[in-house]
Amino acid sequence: MSQVALTARSTTGRGRRRSSRSGASWGSPTTYLIATVLIAICIAPVFYIIVGGFRTNSQITVDPSGWPNPWVLNNYTDVLTSGLFWRQFSNSAISAVATTVGAVALALMASFVIARYEFKGRQAMYALFAAGLMFPMTVAITPLYLLIKNIGLTDSLVGIILPQIAFALPVSVIILVPFIAAIPKELEEAASIDGASRLGFFFRMVLPLSLPGVITTGILAFIGAWNSYMLPLFILNRSDMYTLPLGVQAFSSEHSVDTAAVLAFTSLSMIPALLFFSIFERRIVGGLTGAVKG
């Protein structure tokens, strides 16, 4: 009887522990309520802009917060059939992709040297990249504009791509150095014994093992370049060279009385960045988590 009682008690104890664990995994209702409110606050403006593009100006005037009745597609079709929109879209795409490739490539090379080589000034170099996080583009925009103007890169995508790469490097290096430094020395020695050079070790071992950090830095660089406004505002003067953030501002000024068209243009401009961020959101969290652990 005693063994049966002990067995029953242990079974009951395990059941209680399981129920308590399952209950704790759901969290507090207050947490879910706060999270829902915060998500609604973030999504509501985006949702309003997208839905507003399906309305007419009279509908917006009569009921600014109402639902489209009827739904109108002309605002979106007019923007999508505009050659200027696709020109500005291609400018943003070229700028974002070139910035991403340049920032990731240079950050990988710099991070590899800082993480795997022992030399005088190594910590100072890393501290220099870390210090770059404290200087936003607004601080350097005036001397940067003068420099770009003197070398003749105004009204060109190169004039915004190069500075964007420079400003994306600090955060990229800070993220990548822990990933590369976490690769065991024994792995590098084994690769050297097998006849792999330093470049071979870099391409065959470092890149695959630090891929989460590479993806994270690439996503951050892409979104930062796509949403960049201040730098193109100073560098680009021709409307056919505008990126989409500048295009939205110019379109809003030109069609200030056509609110529905402005909402449609704005929503089409921000959808690519939203989709890109939503698809790779877990990659960003995983990459930043790995950088902190490293």
pLDDT 10s digits, 92-145: 999 999 999 999 999 999 998 898 888 888 888 888 888 888 888 888 888 899
Burial of residue 266 (CB within 10 Å: 0-12, 13-18, 19+) is buried
Amino acid letter, 268? L
Average pLDDT over residues 284-292: 56
Checking if the pLDDT of 230 tops 60, the result is yes
Domains and CATH numbers, the chain: 84-293 (1.10.3720.10)
Question: Mind listing the pLDDT tens digit for each residue in 191-227?
Answer: 888 777 878 888 888 888 888 888 889 888 998 899 8
Percentage of the chain with pLDDT > 70? Answer: 86
Mean of all residue pLDDT scores within the chain: 82
The helix/strand/coil state of 101 is helix
With CA atoms as reference, report the closest residue to 126 among 111, 140, 141.
111
pLDDT at 288: 57
